[in-house]
Structure formats: C-alpha cells, structure tokens
Structure 1
C-alpha cells in the first residue's frame, strides 16, 4: 500500500509499505478520506515533540472496516467509521472527572500511532478502549465525516466559552476552524457572528461560504474599533481567537463586553507563547478567559450528529479533494491560505 511517512522537518516521503494487520484487540480500516489541517503544516515544517519519526501522519480520518481482531466485539467489516485523533487514557483523575481533553496521558493518532495518510490504518486498542471509533451516519460522506474531528475541537471550545442563545460572537481567523466556529455559533443560537481576518482574499473566500454578519479585514481597518462600532460600543459576548496570534488574543480582550468570554482557541508559536494581558480589563469587566485543547471522544460523536443533522454544514467547506500522491500540494495549499478544507482520498 502507499503511505505518506514523515522522517524529519521538510522530509515527507510517499512510500510503499506492507499492508498492516489488525491484532486481536484492533480494527483495520480502509481509509477513504483523511483531511489536512494547520497541524499537518506545522508537523511538516517543524516536527512535533510527541512524534518520533518515521511515522505515517494524518489525523482527520474516515473509512470503512475491512478487518476485526478476534477479541473485538460490536464491529463488523463494511461499517463506515470515523476515528478520533486525541486518545485519552480513560483512567486518570482528569478522565474520570469529565476532563478527558486535558488527560496528561493522552496519545494521538498520527503522532504516537500511524495515521490516515495511507490506504489502510489499524485502529489501536487505546482508541477502542475509550469508545473512539464512531459509526458514520448513512447520509454523511467519508469526506464530511473526516471533518468531524476539527468540528469536535470547535465544539469543545464553544462549550468552554459558553456560546449560546442571543450572543454576539467574534471569530478571529477565517481558516477552516474559523469557518466551523461561525457555523457552530449560529447553530448554538448566537444572535450575530462577526468574522475578522488579516488576509483579504482569505476573508472574502470564507465569507462567501459562511456569510458572517460582518466581515472585517484587520489589515485594512482597526478590528477592535469596528467591533465596538457594530455593537454600539458595548463589545461582544464571546471572542474566539481561531488564529495563532498573540496580537489577536490581546485585541480579543478589548473587543469583549462586560462579563464577556474570551476563548484562546488557537495556540501560539512555541518561541512566542506570551502576551500582554490587561488584568484590569479582566478584573473590572469580570471577563472570563478560557483555553481550548482538542476534543474528547464524546465531542467527536456529537460533531458527527451536528453534520448529519445539517445544523453545521461542512460539504461546501471542502474546497479541494486530492489523491495521496498530491499530499505535498495539499500541505502547500493549506499553508498558503488559498483553500478552506483540503481532503486526501488515499
């Protein structure tokens, strides 16, 4: 079979490999779609401290079961499935008290286990142990099902920020995650959703798809001033920084209304992880600042339900569908910002 294997930053090789076999506590799937994201770009350029090469990467995975281990029950060949990326241990204090997204023993598909940029994938026992293999609803295609993983992360972030009925929401960043945030905020009852982005072309492309109530190009205007003008000087109830930008996080506090919530959704570069936070704004306005780290197996299940119900459409966000042989082109597309969602069909 063909796989895309990471060896070192800048060294991603398309290779022939022996088709894997499922062990007694594993499930083997034929990968039908593995979508790409900004994390794949980071891995390609810089590697990752949890990834020991060589490793088949790719973590937004959907496919069909072609083999079931002797000790696995409840699964059959032919079933259409989606695989979680972040794998909690299920037994630590964080996991047993409902905080699986911050499990200190978390492992990840595409990092600790071979990922989905391959024709076949063995779903490890650790995934099955935490109910991390999900049946794909009949009305959802494989490509759409692969988007459940990033949508699950978005769902976690919005639950932590308590996005709800009647909220005014700002999403900073018009990539695929930002687009999903716009659509999920609407599905959760937000009154208005504004989209902020520095890159005019990317903003226009995203806005044409998700139709925010206002599209603000931060390179052409002061985004904070625009948000305050749109809200009569009050600010918004929720700010979601879906961009790896310290400046966006600092501006987010200035956009927030009294008692507002700010989600630091996008992580910052490891060499620039700090911001200047005006603690008096947090103190006197009673702001809530929250982080968001990945998703739990339950978030993945509910993300699939949101896609299947049509509450969060994703088909039109998939702007490019490429074969595995064109994965380097897919990574370049994601890095350039010329695409929204790029999916690979091995």
Structure 2
C-alpha cells in the first residue's frame, strides 16, 4: 500500500509499505478520507517532539472496517467509522474528572501511532477503550465525517468559552478552524459573529461560505477599533483567536466586552509564546481568558452528530479533494492559505 511518511523536517515521502495487521483489541480500517490541517504543515516542516520517525502522518480520519483483531466485538467489516485523533488514557485523575482533553498521558494518531495518510490504518486498542471509534451515520460522506475531528476541537473550545445565546462573537482567523467556529457559534445562538483575518483573499473566500455578520481585514484596518465600532463601542462577548498569533491574542483582550470571554484557541510558536497582557483590562472588565487544547472522545461523537444533522454543515468547506499522491502538494496549499479544507482520498 502507499503511505505518506515523515522522515525529518522537510523530508516527507510517499512510499510503499506492507498492509498492517491488527493485533489483539485493534481494528484495521480502509482509509477513505484523511483531511489535512495546519498541524500537518508544521510537522512536515519542523517535526514534532512526540514523533519518532519514520511515521505515517494524518489524524483526521474516516474509513471503513477492513479487519478485526482478537477480542474485538461490536464491529464488522464494512462498518463506516470515524477515528478520534487525541487518545486519552481514560484512567488518570484528569480523565476520571471528565477532563480528557488535558490528559497528561494523552497520545495521538499520526504522532505516537501511524496515521491516516495511508490506504490502511490500524486503530489502536486504546482508542476503542475510550469510545473513540465512531460509527458514521447513514447518508454522511467519509470526507465530511473526517471533519468531525477539528469540529470536536472547536466544540471543546466553545464549551470552555461558554458561547451561547445572544453573544457577539469575534473569530480571529478565517482558515478551516475559524470557519467551523463561525458556524458552531451561529448554531449555538450567537447574536452576531464577526470574522477577522489579515489575509484578504482567504477572508473573502471564507466569508462567502460561512457568511459572518461582518468581516474585518486586519491587514489594513485596526481590528480592535473595527470590532468596537461593530459592537456600538461595547466590545465582543467572546473573542476566539483561531490563529497562531500573539498579536491576535493581545488584540483579543483589548476588544473584549466587560465580562467577556477570550479563547486562546490557536497555540503560539514554541520560540515565541509570550504576549503583552494589559492586566488592568482583565481586572477591571472582569475578563475570562481560557485555553483550548484538542478534544475528548465525547466531543468527537457530538461533532459527528452535528455534521450529520446539518446543524454545522462542512461539505462546502472542503475546497480540495486530492489523491494520496498529492499529499505534499496539499500541505503547500494549506500553508499558502489558498484552500479552506483539503482532504486526501487514498
């Protein structure tokens, strides 16, 4: 079979590999779609401390069951499935408290285990143990199901930021995550949703799809002033930084309304993680700043249901569908901001 393997930063190869065999408690799936994300781009260029190469990449996976290891029940060949990316241990103190997204023993597909940029992939027993293999509802395509993984992360972030009825929400970043944030916020009853980006072309492309109430091009406009104007000088109830930008995080604090909630959804580069925070704004406005790190198996199941039920449409966000042989080109598309969502179909 063909796989996309990371060997070293800047060295990602499409190679032949033997078809894997599921061990006890494992499931073999025929991968039908594995979508790309910005993390794949970062791994291809810089590697990751959890990856010991060579490693098959890809963590937004949907496919169908092709084989079962010893001891696996409840599944049969041909079952259509979606796989979680982040695998909590299910047993530590955080997991027992229901905080699986911050499990300190968390592992991940495409990092600790070979991922979905391949014709076949083994789903580890640890995934099944935490309920991380989801049935795809009838009528939902594999490509759309693969987007459940990033949507699960968005759900976790919006749960922590308490996005709900009547909120004015600002989403900073118009990539696929930003688009999902816009759609989920609307589905949760947000009063208005504003989309901000410094990339004018991507902002226009995203806005045409997800239709925010207004857009702000941060490249030629002061985003804080623009948001204050849009909100009658009050500021936003929720600001979500769906971009790896310290500047966006600093602006988020400045544009938040009194008792506003700020989600630092996009992580910062490891060599530049420090921002300037006006602590008095946080203090006097009674602001809440929350992080957002991945998702739980329950978030994944909810995401799949929201997509299948039409509450959060994703099909139109998939702007490119490419074969496995074009995976490296797909990473370049994502890096250049020329696509919203790119899915690989092995």
* TM-score, normalised by the number of residues in structure 2: 1.00
Give the whole-Å Cα distance in 2 for the aligned partners of 1:24 and 1:167. 48
Correspondence for 1:312: 312
Count of residues in correspondence between the two structures: 346
Correspondence for 1:208: 208
1:32 maps onto 2:59 in alignment: no
Cα deviation, 1:42-65, whole Å, max 9, x if unaligned, reads 000100000110000100000000
- For the aligned residue pairs, the C-alpha RMSD in angstroms reads 0.4
Correspondence for 2:221: 221
1:344 maps onto 2:344 in alignment: yes
The 5 A counterparts of 1:147-186 are 147-186=147-186
Give the whole-Å Cα distance in 2 for the aligned partners of 1:284 and 1:30. 54
Which consecutive residues of structure 2, in runs of 5 or more, have no partner in the other structure?
A: none
Cα deviation, 1:53-97, whole Å, max 9, x if unaligned, reads 000010000000010112011111110000000000000000000
Aligned residue for 1:31, secondary structure, equals: strand
Correspondence for 2:136: 136
The 5 A counterparts of 1:1-346 are 1-346=1-346
Give the whole-Å Cα distance in 2 for the aligned partners of 1:194 and 1:140. 29
Q: Which 4+ residue blocks in structure 1 deviate beyond 3 angstroms?
A: none
Give the whole-Å Cα distance in 2 for the aligned partners of 1:164 and 1:207. 21
- 1:341 CA displacement: 0.1
Give the whole-Å Cα distance in 2 for the aligned partners of 1:68 and 1:7. 29
Which consecutive residues of structure 1, in runs of 5 or more, have no partner in the other structure?
A: none
Give the whole-Å Cα distance in 1 for the aligned partners of 2:161 and 2:240. 8
Cα deviation, 1:228-259, whole Å, max 9, x if unaligned, reads 00111000100000000000000001110000
Aligned residue for 1:282, secondary structure, equals: helix
- 1:220 CA displacement: 1.4
Give the whole-Å Cα distance in 1 for the aligned partners of 2:300 and 2:317. 18
* TM-score, normalised by the number of residues in structure 1: 1.00
Give the whole-Å Cα distance in 1 for the aligned partners of 2:127 and 2:321. 27
